[in-house]
Structure 1
Amino acid sequence: MPQDLSRNANRFVTFTVFFTARAYYPVLAILFIDLGLTLDQFVMLNLIWALTIFLFEVPSGALADTIGRRTLLMTASVLMVIEMLCLLIAPRDGGMLLLIMCVINRICSGLSEACASGADEALAYDSLPPENRASAWDHLLAHAMRWRSVGFVLAMIIGGVLYDADTINSILPASFHISSETAHRLPVLLVLMQALACLFITWRMVEPVHAAAGSTLSHAFHLTLSTARWVFTNPKTLVVILIGVALDSIVRNFATITSSYYRLIDLPEWTYGFFGAAMGLLGWFVPGIAKQLNARFGMLANLGLVAVMTLIGLVVLVPAWPIYGVVPTLFLMMMMGFLGFTVSRVLHEEADSSRRATVLSVKGLIFNLGYGLFSLGFSGLLASFPDTPEGAALRSALLWQVPFFVAVILGLFSWAFFKLRSYRVSKG
């Protein structure tokens, strides 16, 4: 009896919305800081998160290609539940216990990301009809990105409002007023409910048959090694991943400290969610633009466009203009969406079904390793500058990351140009 895979596409879209559009994102940095951590500790926690993904990203992808993508997605959902519970019960100003709970949170978050990364897209891609699958995937990916944008709009507004006790109390009767500490846990509680929804959605998914399904763990190990070798010997995948990680790491690091930057530019806390929603709203238009540009221009041209636009955004961040400094923040988040579409499109075109999740996991591993290393360097920058007056260290770190970015990007694009040219010549 043939499998009914027709509902997997919609389940993939719903899962990716609930899994990625989290209500605590607009207050991510200050959530940990208000619990009692320093900004340096928060950045180091994100390094732990990235290292966890680094260790488990590729093994989880190989497991997804062998024991099943649905199994890995259900595991990711369970880990997301544990991750949220840690933040809910972590004691405010709890010293070492607080730090331990936050470390557990970051480890579970990293494991969850590693399990979901690649497995969700691989399951959805192989669920599409074989005829015109590449074109159908472009449509589904754009559809998923648009709905993620809608999810972000709602999550950012709700999360930002829930975090501000004054805003909540202004609409509640006096007898129902809540403390700031209680308000700070509400976005986390909402994401816990999203995690439970993810678990239900993944339980309802149907595992598509693919070439490596049902293989042994030994095969998973060999698949990991052969796929990593293939990624690094295929010129297109090598170029898109190395340039992609250079662009992604610097923007994603800034994305994690966005709420600290908002404080620096004097934005009221209740507005954080609305600006996060604006990012989601702008993100609605990114997939359509990215789809057209990728259809019209080559991979390197699209990556070059992202690089130039990212540089402009990073430069305009440096003055930290009060209120108006939010504009380059929105711009940079749009570039992340454009980059994600381009990288995903290239990898799905190049990879075959038997190793699709593993290829995406190799990409995720490299991206998160790059993010972790950049976070470590950025943390060192923050610690090396005096933070007097308040925010001076962040201003200095934002300035010094610009020449670093320029040097790395110029080097990578020069290498990529000659690498791809020699590859085309060798193919005749």
Structure 2
Amino acid sequence: MTLREVLQIRNVRYFLMFRSSYFARFYYPVFTLLYLDYGLSLSQFAMLNVVWAATIVLAEVPSGAFADTLGRKKLVVLSSIIMFVEIAMIAFVPTGNPNLVFVVFLVNRVLSGLAMALASGADEALAYDTLKEQGKEEAWPRVLQIQLRIASSVGIFVTLLGAAMYDVSFMAKVYSLLGLAEPESTQDIMRIPVYATLLVAMIAIYSALSMREAKKTLPEHGGKIATTLASLKLTQVTAKWVVSTPYVLFILLYYSLFEHTSRMFLTMNSQYYRAIDIPIIYFGLIGAGISILQILLAGQSRRLAESMAPKKFILVMGLATMATYYWISLGWSIYGVVPALLLIFIIMTMNIFISYHLNKQTESHNRATVLSFKGLMFNLGYGSIGILYAYYYKLLSQNYSEQQVEQHLDFLASLSSFFYYFTALFVVISAAFYFKNKQKAIF
């Protein structure tokens, strides 16, 4: 399918708009630095992300089941509204009271996790089933490729501008042109990327409202209570199906490992770039480079995901990821950007592979529920690694002087944990896969 043909399909068109606007957050290039400038510590940052993941774990699968019974559009719309609220909270919170700031960010993480859980699976299920109704489901990898390219194109603009918004010298020139008092530190300008994201959140709301779905018919007897029970029953049935279907179970296990490990590192990439002596103004250029890389290599990612045998694909991606984390752990100045770029390509390719194979094995009636299990397993992993990393970093940092902490030596030393963590779990999952596969071929 061409881009024009894809955009002619209403739900697919607004799915692309929703995904691109939902994740177009101007503060992402400086995500960790933003939290630190609000007055939070790195350990608090890690634990807040554990809260975010835990919220998704609790809400993910029930929300997917409700999407399959009550309607997917309702959950996507609700997700976009909650997203707007959670961003508004940090946009306007006063920073004079550290305890208040922490509480507000805590509520923000809960709402952010809830919004993510509500949208997860529902938006994808809406778009995929629209293709399936038209007999075009084989075009789904092509849609994902287009989505990557659109999101990456938007990402170029967002990351360049977002990082520039956080650079004091750049913003001083902007303020001067506007006749305003020049900012002296990042604390003076840290809300600007958040305000910009708040405006983009309105586009996400519009695209969610613009999706179409056939009205769900509630049971004649019991109304909402019966629907709730039906949703919980669907969750239970789907859970049993996932556990008893090795093909799906191992796809989800590998997905969770690759995704939650990389997400934990990439969430802290601004701290990583600062630790390897990259000036803040270049964070946007790196983000733009990442987006260009995704645009150029999206087609290659799709071809790898579609053409390579699953076992070979997972092995190659696993070894490449191990090598990448080892390279990252070396903490090379400037050149340390290269493995971060490689990691993004690996995860981009892995996500296309997972979505392609998982949707092929899933029926329409419980698609959103199964995709919610995908999010559930990721966030269980993300919550676990967040707790482990926060605890490990706190212990490790005690061995460094205040001056060494300011030089980020403790943070650089903590990066080797990603290599050991990923390698150990990859070996464990692969060993379980090997013995299960010997009993009966999975792929």
Compute the TM-score of the two structures, normalised by the length of structure 1: 0.94
Matches within 5 A, 1:81-230: 81-130=84-133, 132-171=135-174, 172-173=176-177, 175-179=179-183, 180-208=186-214, 216-230=227-241
TM-superposed CA distance for 1:314, in Å, is: 0.4
Structure 2 distance, partners of 1:212, 1:339, is 37
Structure 1 distance, partners of 2:380, 2:386, is 10
Between stretches 70-79 and 86-95, larger displacement belongs to 86-95
TM-superposed CA distance for 1:32, in Å, is: 0.5
Structure 1 distance, partners of 2:297, 2:418, is 26
CA distances 1:346-367 after superposition (whole Å, capped 9, x unpaired):
1100100000000000110110
Structure 1 distance, partners of 2:440, 2:368, is 26
Q: Give the direction of change, closer, same or farther, for the CA distance of 1:211–1:344 in structure 2 (3 Å limit).
A: farther
Equivalent AA in structure 2 for residue 417 of structure 1:
Y
* Residue pair 1:165, 1:183 contacting (<8 A) in 2 also: yes
Say which of 39, 44, 54 aligns to 2:57.
Answer: 54
In the alignment, is residue 20 of structure 1 matched against residue 31 of structure 2? no
Equivalent AA in structure 2 for residue 201 of structure 1:
S
**Identical residues among aligned pairs (%):** 32
Equivalent AA in structure 2 for residue 98 of structure 1:
V
Partner of residue 410, structure 2? 393
Long gaps (5+) in structure 1? none
Q: Give the direction of change, closer, same or farther, for the CA distance of 1:232–1:285 in structure 2 (3 Å limit).
A: farther
Partner of residue 381, structure 1? 392
* Residue pair 1:90, 1:102 contacting (<8 A) in 2 also: no
Structure 2 distance, partners of 1:343, 1:232, is 17
Long gaps (5+) in structure 2? 1-7
Structure 2 distance, partners of 1:147, 1:188, is 22
Equivalent AA in structure 2 for residue 175 of structure 1:
G
CA distances 1:399-425 after superposition (whole Å, capped 9, x unpaired):
133223222211211221332343339
SS at 1:284 equivalent: helix
Count of paired positions: 422
Structure 2 distance, partners of 1:134, 1:7, is 15
CA distances 1:182-231 after superposition (whole Å, capped 9, x unpaired):
42111111111111111111111101478999981111010011111111
TM-superposed CA distance for 1:342, in Å, is: 1.1
Q: Give the direction of change, closer, same or farther, for the CA distance of 1:62–1:271 in structure 2 (3 Å limit).
A: same
CA distances 1:305-361 after superposition (whole Å, capped 9, x unpaired):
221111111011112111221111111112121111111111100100000000000
In the alignment, is residue 403 of structure 1 matched against residue 407 of structure 2? no
Q: CA RMSD in A?
A: 2.0
* Residue pair 2:159, 2:288 contacting (<8 A) in 1 also: yes
Structure 2 distance, partners of 1:154, 1:395, is 29
SS at 1:420 equivalent: helix
Structure 1 distance, partners of 2:353, 2:82, is 29
Structure 1 distance, partners of 2:430, 2:363, is 27
Between stretches 164-173 and 253-262, larger displacement belongs to 164-173
Compute the TM-score of the two structures, normalised by the length of structure 2: 0.91
TM-superposed CA distance for 1:378, in Å, is: 0.8
* Residue pair 2:218, 2:227 contacting (<8 A) in 1 also: no
TM-superposed CA distance for 1:304, in Å, is: 1.8
